[in-house]
């Protein structure tokens, strides 16, 4: 008996178009979920990195400024009654550097070319950084670094063009930068304060202090001083212990800059810290001679306005001695934009504004209101009080 086989048509083992479409839809949904998770994770990482960056930058900037401001006045504060507010004269390699021969580079182009001696002076609205678009204050800070010769020395004769006569030269060595201050008149403080340099290699104990070197002024102003002149050691120009006479302020691209008024380096303008968006400051003033801050006042108006403190009078010298502290405020900004929400703010919620010095005095408060575009970044506010330890002992 013959068995007949019935052949069946070939059946494909692949997937149908419908199945492929379903798989593709599921795959696309999974990819979208993964992309969303990665984007959220990357955004969170970027935000955290930005916060860490501005926190570190802010802490560093505050630390550096705290060091500089606390030491302001070192080396010359004992001559405060006769030296604070005097116009400075200095030369380097035969060319005058103080008063400033020309305007400073950005961001300090608007600073006055006459530089007056003081531990610290706030220059209100001195810079306008391009990122902020608003004005920021600058600080003029001066401090010696001698350490071993904080007391001033009196002259025993009228200065000559190349040497000074003192009781002894103990505490002075070659390349020391010294400050010469003549006696004040009864009504003004306009006598020039002169910076000179001790001759390289000098190390003996004698009564004659020879002058020459890079910061020697060739006796131009020196010969006009009297035997009432006193000298203070500010530091040494050859052993890495130079004094700091500088201006600090916010420049373009959220960078805090300093400018070395004595040009001790080949590049006087240098970056201090990044991420600084704005800087503001006010004075803490002692009004009753008890070496304590009794009141706070802005530098933009009133008795402690920049124009008053730098007018060269004996009154301004007294006011400079009354400054016992600085209240410093800074805004730090992250370099990268945040992810926006429906209110045009970062998902983390940037505040609408920051206010500094609220409650310190009726005219002290400074408020920075952020635009919608500015709210796309993260910010940090720093506000600290820094004492002027050398002025506290006056």
pLDDT at 331: 97
Return the sign of the alpha-carbon dihedral for residues 61, 140, 122, 84.
positive
Tell me whether residue 18 is in a domain: no
Assess if residue 223 is contained within a domain: no
In a domain, residue 306? The reply is yes
The pLDDT assigned to 48 comes to: 62
- Half-sphere CA count of 232, side-chain side, radius 13 A: 25
Report the domain count for the chain. Answer: 1
Domain that holds residue 367: 51-84+246-392
What the block records as the tokens of 3 is 């068995």
Q: What is the pLDDT of residue 12?
A: 54
Residue at 276 is within a domain: yes
In a domain, 363, yes or no: yes
pLDDT at 224: 81
Round to whole Å and give the CA distance between 145 and 379: 36
- Asked if the structure places residue 302 within a domain, the reply is yes
Query: So what's the pLDDT on residue 1?
Result: 52
Q: What's the number of CA atoms in the CB half-sphere (13 Å) around residue 169?
A: 20
Q: Does the global pTM surpass 0.75?
A: yes
Tell me, yes or no, whether 360 lies in a domain.
yes
The pLDDT value recorded for residue 369 is: 96
Q: Positive or negative CA dihedral for 109, 115, 119, 124? A: negative
Domain assignment present for residue 286? The answer is yes
Per-10-residue mean pLDDT, the chain, length 394? 55 70 83 70 60 87 97 93 92 94 94 94 97 97 79 91 92 94 66 92 94 88 86 92 96 97 93 96 96 96 94 90 98 82 65 94 95 88 96 92
């Amino acid at each position: 008996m013959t068995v007949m086989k019935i052949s069946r048509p070939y059946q494909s083992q692949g997937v149908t178009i419908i199945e492929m479409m379903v798989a593709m839809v599921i795959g696309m949904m999974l990819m979208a979920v993964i992309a969303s998770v990665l984007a959220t994770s990357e955004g969170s990482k970027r935000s955290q990195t930005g916060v860490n960056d501005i926190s570190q930058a802010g802490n560093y900037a505050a630390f550096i400024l705290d060091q500089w401001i606390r030491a302001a006045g070192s080396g010359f504060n004992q001559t405060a009654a006769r030296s604070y507010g005097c116009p400075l004269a200095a030369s380097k390699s035969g060319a005058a550097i103080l008063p400033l021969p020309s305007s400073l580079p950005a961001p300090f182009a608007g600073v006055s070319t006459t530089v007056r001696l003081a531990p610290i002076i706030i220059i209100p609205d001195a810079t306008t950084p391009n990122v902020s678009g608003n004005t920021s204050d600058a600080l003029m800070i001066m401090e010696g670094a001698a350490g071993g010769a904080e007391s001033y020395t009196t002259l025993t004769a009228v200065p000559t063009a190349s040497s000074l006569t003192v009781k002894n030269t103990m505490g002075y060595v070659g390349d020391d930068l010294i400050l010469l201050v003549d006696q004040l008149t009864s009504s003004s403080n306009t006598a020039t304060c002169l910076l000179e340099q001790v001759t390289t290699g000098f190390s003996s104990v004698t009564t004659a202090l020879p002058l020459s070197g890079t910061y020697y002024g060739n006796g131009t102003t020196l010969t006009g001083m009297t035997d009432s002149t006193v000298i203070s050691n500010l530091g040494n120009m050859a052993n890495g212990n130079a004094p700091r006479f500088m201006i600090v302020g916010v420049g373009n691209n959220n960078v805090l800059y300093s400018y070395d008024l004595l040009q001790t380096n080949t590049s006087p303008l240098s970056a201090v810290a990044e991420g600084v968006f704005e800087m503001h400051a006010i004075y803490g003033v002692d009004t009753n001679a008890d070496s304590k801050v009794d009141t706070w006042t802005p530098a933009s108006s009133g008795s402690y306005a920049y124009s008053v403190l730098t007018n060269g009078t004996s009154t301004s010298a007294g006011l400079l001695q009354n400054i016992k502290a600085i209240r410093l405020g800074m805004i730090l900004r992250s370099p990268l934009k945040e992810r926006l929400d429906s209110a045009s703010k970062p998902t983390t919620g940037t505040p609408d504004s920051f206010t500094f010095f609220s409650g310190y005095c009726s005219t002290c408060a400074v408020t920075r209101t952020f635009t919608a575009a500015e709210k796309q970044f993260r910010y940090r506010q720093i506000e600290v009080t820094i004492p002027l330890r050398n002025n506290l002992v006056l």
